[in-house]
C-alpha cells in the first residue's frame, strides 16, 4: 500500500533555504504537510519567515525560522548547528535560495557576477556540504528513511538553456548541475541521494515582471508549450516526492518541471 501523502515524510527533519517566499515557502509548507518538521531559512525578512512558520503550525505542522546568509560559511554552519540542536538531526536539505542580478554581458561588473555565484552556487555548495556532514554524523535510521539523507538543489531551466543578459545566473545554474551530479556520484555509496529540480517559469517575486500583466504573461506563454505559467505549489509537490522513499532509486538527476519550456518551443512549427 502506498504511504498516505500526509505521512510520507513522517519523523523527518528538513531545512529549506530561502523559504520565506516563492518556491522555498511552498516547498517548506509541502514538506511540513507531508509530515516533516521544517527549518525555514530566511535572510532579511523575519516577518515573512514567521508567516510561513505560523501557516505551517496552523495546519498542524512543525517549523522553526532561522536567519542565515547562505553565501557565508560561518552563518551556514551556525544555522545547521542551531537546526541540529533544536531537532536532533536533519534528513532533508533543500538548497533553494537564489537571486538574479541582471546585466548585459559587456556591462556586467565583477560585483554583479560574484554576488550571483556566491549566493546561487557557493551557497548551495555550503548547504549541501553541511547537510552531508550531518547525515554522516547521525548515521542510518532505516525506520525513518531508506537513504541516509536527501539533498535537493533548486536549479532552473537555465541549467541547460543559455540566457542572454543573465550570464551570471545561467552560469550559476549550469554549475549547480555539476555540483549536484559530482556530489551524487561521490555520496551514493553512503546512501545520500542528491538531485535537483529545474523549474521553468513559476509565479514568484523573482520574475514578477514576466507575468504580472496580461501582456507580459501572454509573451511568457509563447515559451511554454503547456500554456500555463507554473505556481510554487507545483514545485513543492515534486520536491516532497523527490525527497521521499518513493523516489529512493533516483540520484544525480535534474527533474525539469517547466510545462515543456525545455522542448525548444520555437521549433514547434517547423524549423
Ligand atoms: P524568490 O525571490 O521568492 O526566492 C528566493 C529566496 O532566496 C528569497 O526568499 C530570498 O530572500 C532568498 N535569498 C536570497 N539571497 C539569500 C541569501 N544570501 N541567503 C539566504 N536566502 C537568500 O524567488 P523564487 O522564484 O522562489 O526562487 C527560488 C529558487 O528557484 C531560486 O534558486 C531561483 O533561481 C529558482 N528558480 C525560480 C524560477 C521561477 O520562475 N520563479 C525558475 C527557475 C528557478
Domain ranges of the chain: 5-203+231-260
Q: Describe the crossing of helices 73-87 and 123-138 by its angle, rounded to 10 degrees.
A: 30
Q: What is the CATH number of domain 5-203+231-260?
A: 3.40.50.720
Lining residues, ligand 1, CB within 6 Å:
17-18, 20-24, 41, 43, 69-71, 96-99, 119, 123, 154, 156, 199, 201-202, 204-207
DSSP string over 56-79 = HHHTT--EEEEE--TT-HHHHHHH
CA of 155 to the centre of ligand 1 (A): 10
Question: What does the pLDDT read at residue 3?
Answer: 73
14: cell is: 528538513
Q: What is the pLDDT of residue 154?
A: 99
From its phi and psi, is residue 11 left (phi > 0), alpha (psi between -120 and 50) or beta?
left
Beta bridge pairs of residue 195? 152
Running along the chain, 271 residues long, what does each successive block of 10 average in pLDDT? 85 98 98 98 97 98 98 99 98 98 98 99 99 98 98 98 98 99 99 99 94 96 97 98 98 98 92 65
The DSSP code for 203 is: -
What is the structure's pLDDT at 271? 65
Q: Which atom of ligand 1 is nearest to the CA of 200?
A: 42
Q: What is the pTM of this model?
A: 0.98
DSSP 41: E
Q: How far apart are CA 122 and CA 153, in angstroms?
A: 12
Q: State the pLDDT at residue 2.
A: 64
CA-proximal residue: ligand 1, atom 3 (nearest): 22
Q: Is 264 a catalytic residue?
A: no
CA–CA separation, 270 vs 265, rounded Å? 10
Query: Could you tell me the distance, in angstroms and rounded to a whole number, from the CA of residue 66 to the centre of ligand 1?
Result: 16
Amino acid at each position: 500500500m502506498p504511504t498516505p501523502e500526509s505521512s510520507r515524510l513522517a519523523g523527518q527533519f528538513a531545512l529549506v533555504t530561502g523559504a520565506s517566499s516563492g518556491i522555498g515557502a511552498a516547498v517548506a509548507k509541502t514538506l511540513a504537510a507531508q509530515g516533516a518538521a521544517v527549518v525555514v531559512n530566511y535572510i532579511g525578512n523575519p516577518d515573512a519567515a514567521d508567516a510561513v512558520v505560523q501557516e505551517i503550525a496552523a495546519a498542524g505542522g512543525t517549523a522553526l525560522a532561522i536567519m542565515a546568509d547562505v553565501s557565508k560559511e560561518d552563518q551556514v554552519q551556525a544555522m545547521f548547528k542551531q537546526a541540529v540542536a533544536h531537532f536532533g538531526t536533519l534528513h532533508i536539505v533543500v538548497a533553494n535560495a537564489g537571486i538574479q542580478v541582471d546585466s548585459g554581458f559587456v556591462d556586467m561588473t565583477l560585483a554583479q557576477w560574484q554576488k550571483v555565484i556566491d549566493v546561487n552556487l557557493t551557497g548551495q555548495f555550503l548547504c549541501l556540504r553541511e547537510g552531508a556532514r550531518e547525515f554522516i554524523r547521525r548515521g542510518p535510521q532505516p525506520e525513518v528513511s531508506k537513504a541516509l539523507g536527501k539533498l535537493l538543489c533548486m536549479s532552473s531551466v537555465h541549467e541547460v538553456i543559455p540566457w542572454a543578459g543573465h550570464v551570471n545566473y545561467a552560469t550559476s545554474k549550469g554549475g549547480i548541475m555539476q555540483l549536484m551530479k559530482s556530489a551524487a556520484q561521490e555520496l551514493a555509496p553512503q546512501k545520500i541521494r542528491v538531485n535537483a529540480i529545474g523549474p521553468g517559469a513559476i509565479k514568484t517575486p523573482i520574475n514578477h515582471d514576466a507575468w504580472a500583466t496580461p501582456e507580459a504573461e501572454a509573451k511568457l506563454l509563447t515559451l511554454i508549450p503547456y500554456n500555463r505559467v507554473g505556481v510554487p505549489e507545483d514545485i513543492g509537490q515534486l520536491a516532497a516526492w523527490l525527497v521521499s522513499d518513493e523516489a529512493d532509486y533516483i540520484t544525480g538527476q535534474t527533474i525539469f518541471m517547466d510545462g515543456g519550456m525545455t522542448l525548444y518551443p520555437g521549433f514547434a512549427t517547423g524549423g
